[in-house]
Structure 1
Amino acid sequence: MPDTDLLVIGAGPYGYAAAAHARARGIRTRIVGRPMSFWREQMPSDMYLRSGRDWTLDADGVHSFAAYFEERGLDPDEHDPIPISVFLDHTEWFREQKRLDVEQAMVASLTAPDGRFEAAMSDGSTITAERVLAAPGIAHFTHLPEWYDEVPADRRTHTSERVAFDDLSGARVAVIGGRQSAYEWAALLCDHGAARIDVVHRHDTPAFAKVSWAFVNAYVDQTEAERGWWRSLCAARQQEITLEFWRVGRLTLEPWLTPRLAREVVTSRPRTEVVSVEVVDTRAVRLALSDGDRLEVDHVVAACGYRADLAAVPYLAGVLDRVSVTDGFPDLTPGFETSLPGLFVTGFAATRDFGPFYGFTKGCPSAARIAVGEMLR
């Protein structure tokens, strides 16, 4: 008999949601990983979230974000936008309410030698399971420009690595990218005294306005109501929805950033990209831009987002030859199952087959219900 019916690998929002719902449905479940480690260690402690208070982790609708505010005695209007510290406290509260005992040993490798899964753990132990749900965090999928390695290592960071800013006080910084993380990191650099910040991106300068994410609700509901809904759409309709998501979620940024982006410090450079890099001296690099300008900077921050690549998840190496992959994404059934029976994948790596909303915490409860429902079919 295996040690558990379901092994959930990953102790982030998608892992929490799936483990809690599986247990509620009577599935023996173990969850492994470092609790919310990406959020705690690779996001700035003074950042804010774009998510709303109606975004919950609970697939059973009991321990919602709203319930957290009520139990903690917090006024939601005083926490809008939501500080990351409040969100992290909420996830810890959720874990306690659901009695999720996260085992903090990491999975070193996963194999499936006889139809069951064996996870070799970093502490030398082994966990056998009938099924595995992997919720790999986006830290595995950082996307970097082709020229990035030409910048000396001590003068470059990806946003997932740049969580402190005091060392860049007085510095000239180029932020590469033009979405929420790029401009929020620019605001944080302003807060910490950077001398000059150039935000370089290929699209137009985004708008800064309050937006509603309510349009996503209908798409998530449709995904649950109709198995395989997103994949059944024609390419044109997928593109139309993706563009809607892009306009609201990518090209419209939060208005609370505006007063923090000092005009005398921050320059937006839309419709441009870096074409070459020159190391000037031990301190500076010169970036040649596609519009003919040249920027001499002390540091480069890559805010270029993430790109799925299942092969970049180390613990999956032992089963990857049995998992069908397209453009770095696993090919999933309507129940989040891969081509290797019993192996499920949720989170950012599932967005090709389920839509862009499943890369946000908004998709956590829905993904949990769908995947666990598939296991019980």
Structure 2
Amino acid sequence: MDDSLIDTLIVGAGPYGLSIAAHARAHGLNVRVIGTPMDFWQRHMPAGMLLKSEPFASNLSSPSPGSSFTDLHPGWPMGRPIPLGSFVSYGQWFAEHAVRGTEDAQVEHVEAADPGFTVTLSTGERVRALNVVIAIGVRQFAHVPDQLRSLPPELATHSVDHHDLSRFADREVTVVGAGQSALETAVLLADAGARPTVVSRKEQLAWNAVPEPDPSWASRALRGPQSGLGRGWRTWLWSEYPATTRALPDRTRQKIVKNTLGPAGSWWLRDRLDHRITLRLGERVVEADENNGRVRFSTVTSRGGIHLCQTDHIIAATGYVPDVDKVTILDPQLRRRLRLRHRSPALSRHFESSVPGLYFAGLAAAASFGPVMRFVHGSSFAAQRIADSLARRRTSTSSGAAIPPKQTDKSVAPQ
């Protein structure tokens, strides 16, 4: 194999990227991980946030023992929410102990080469890789409703844009949405001294049930087993057997992705959503514009009533929608070669796209493998499948079947 051609370059150092790296290196592969460990969680999730997932569903994945969240935090019980800072520290600890080597840089461009790919980094280096794994997380897929897109960023943002909400102290802030992100953002805004209002088209808020650390036999039989996505037989299937989800008809799978774990708040958040937060349920924003440095917007109720409102700022806590066109690090010609499934790459059972050697993990894989790919819990399945596939590709290329004779490539920076 050409010494200048590495096995795999992983784009992203979040839970998926780090987990894939740990499994790939256990196979003896030459892997480079580009990104700052847990950077998205540290800089784009709100300070004071608590994770919705239980400890067993918040693990990064390594084939070596001793790398789970509770290995770093022994005795952390089920039902005790994990603070954002604790999870970030765990991910950084995992990177140091289970991966041992990430690069604090950014991938700027990925283009096809022969063989593999040429990847340009923010440092100016150009790297040749037989395989590239896109594990970029969710930030690029932040969804802002059409009605808010014309507003300037000083007046309208997505929840992913905020780590420090103290900038909104003494200001009126409208949060659009009804899920955990919307409700927790509203609570944290109130904690920071803002005057938040939640606007949601839902008539009622939904809340997750209080977990049962040791449920009775009757409870397990009636409510189903506990899984990374919650309790229930179908939830357990989508959570623990993503390969089954992938085998379903496309229409069925997309219905599962859309409807599993819909907008709802964590049980521990319910009491914190108090008198400090104004709730406007059963309303949807239909129009918004700037008016004297504030946002003027109108909503329509479920009964057809129209309300005219003003606020200092609007935060869209409206989730994430994967779209390959937003993965702008991929060369346009490379993107055009991708076979798509609902604007996401259609993936093989090993997470490989229609472009050989180009893999996708995390939210971009949800259209193929189901809702667990929206959560940290899906990283174990994805990491094992991808690493096994990378190892097989390495074995086949080592025989010389897919690698042409070595040629001088002056575009590759010295290592």
**TM-score, normalising length: structure 2:** 0.82
Aligned to 2:190: 190
Question: What secondary structure sits across from 1:48 in the alignment?
Answer: coil
Aligned to 1:13: 15
CA drift at 1:310: 1.3
On the 8 A contact 1:8/1:30 being kept in 2, the answer is yes
Question: What secondary structure sits across from 2:161 in the alignment?
Answer: coil
Aligned to 1:64: 68
Aligned to 2:290: 279
Question: What one-letter code is carried by the residue in structure 1 that aligns with 2:272?
Answer: R
* Identical pairs, percent: 32
Q: Distance in 1 between matches of 2:134 and 2:63?
A: 20
1:327 to 342, 358, 365: 342
Whether 2:205 is the aligned partner of 1:206: answer yes
Distance 1:307 1:335, change over 3 A: same
CA drift at 1:149: 3.2
Q: Distance in 2 between matches of 1:234 and 1:298?
A: 46
On the 8 A contact 1:172/1:194 being kept in 2, the answer is yes
Matches within 5 A, 1:79-94: 80-94=80-94
On the 8 A contact 1:46/1:83 being kept in 2, the answer is yes
Aligned to 1:218: 237
Aligned to 2:401: none
Matches within 5 A, 1:251-270: 251-263=263-275, 265-270=276-281
Distance 1:275 1:203, change over 3 A: same
CA drift at 1:93: 1.3
Distance 1:31 1:203, change over 3 A: same
Q: Distance in 1 between matches of 2:100 and 2:50?
A: 26
Aligned to 1:302: 316
2:374 to 330, 348, 359: 359
What is the RMSD of the two structures over their aligned residues, measured on CA atoms?
Answer: 2.1
Question: What secondary structure sits across from 1:369 in the alignment?
Answer: helix
2:27 to 17, 25, 33: 25
Q: Distance in 2 between matches of 1:257 and 1:204?
A: 19
Matches within 5 A, 1:67-146: 67-70=71-74, 75-77=75-77, 80-146=80-146
Name the stretch that deviates more: 148-157 or 3-12.
148-157
Distance 1:107 1:252, change over 3 A: closer
On the 8 A contact 2:35/2:103 being kept in 1, the answer is yes
Question: What one-letter code is carried by the residue in structure 2 that aligns with 1:314?
Answer: T
On the 8 A contact 1:105/1:123 being kept in 2, the answer is yes
Aligned to 2:300: 290
Distance 1:168 1:362, change over 3 A: same
On the 8 A contact 1:58/1:365 being kept in 2, the answer is yes
Question: What one-letter code is carried by the residue in structure 1 that aligns with 2:331?
Answer: A
CA drift at 1:217: 4.2
Q: Distance in 2 between matches of 1:44 and 1:374?
A: 36
Question: What one-letter code is carried by the residue in structure 2 that aligns with 1:315?
Answer: I
Distance 1:61 1:365, change over 3 A: farther
Question: What secondary structure sits across from 2:103 in the alignment?
Answer: coil
**TM-score, normalising length: structure 1:** 0.90
1:265-315 C-alpha deviation (Å, 9 max, x unpaired): 322222321112243322x22221112122221111111111111121221
1:74-110 C-alpha deviation (Å, 9 max, x unpaired): x414992100100011111111211431012211111
Q: Distance in 1 between matches of 2:253 and 2:281?
A: 26
The runs of 5 or more residues in structure 2 that have no matched partner are 212-225, 393-415
Question: What one-letter code is carried by the residue in structure 1 that aligns with 2:197?
Answer: D
Distance 1:274 1:252, change over 3 A: closer
Distance 1:183 1:347, change over 3 A: same
The runs of 5 or more residues in structure 1 that have no matched partner are none
On the 8 A contact 2:151/2:288 being kept in 1, the answer is yes
On the 8 A contact 2:54/2:78 being kept in 1, the answer is no
Whether 2:244 is the aligned partner of 1:229: answer yes
Distance 1:202 1:95, change over 3 A: same
Question: What secondary structure sits across from 1:147 in the alignment?
Answer: helix
Name the stretch that deviates more: 134-143 or 214-223.
214-223
Question: What secondary structure sits across from 1:160 in the alignment?
Answer: helix
Q: Distance in 1 between matches of 2:290 and 2:98?
A: 52
CA drift at 1:123: 0.9
Name the stretch that deviates more: 363-372 or 25-34.
25-34
Q: Distance in 2 between matches of 1:67 and 1:191?
A: 32
1:240-265 C-alpha deviation (Å, 9 max, x unpaired): 6446622xxx34311222232222x3
Question: What secondary structure sits across from 1:300 in the alignment?
Answer: strand
Question: What secondary structure sits across from 1:120 in the alignment?
Answer: strand
Name the stretch that deviates more: 266-275 or 82-91.
266-275
Q: Distance in 2 between matches of 1:167 and 1:183?
A: 18
On the 8 A contact 1:190/1:260 being kept in 2, the answer is no
Q: How many residues align?
A: 363
CA drift at 1:6: 1.2
Name the stretch that deviates more: 173-182 or 316-325.
316-325
On the 8 A contact 1:205/1:268 being kept in 2, the answer is no
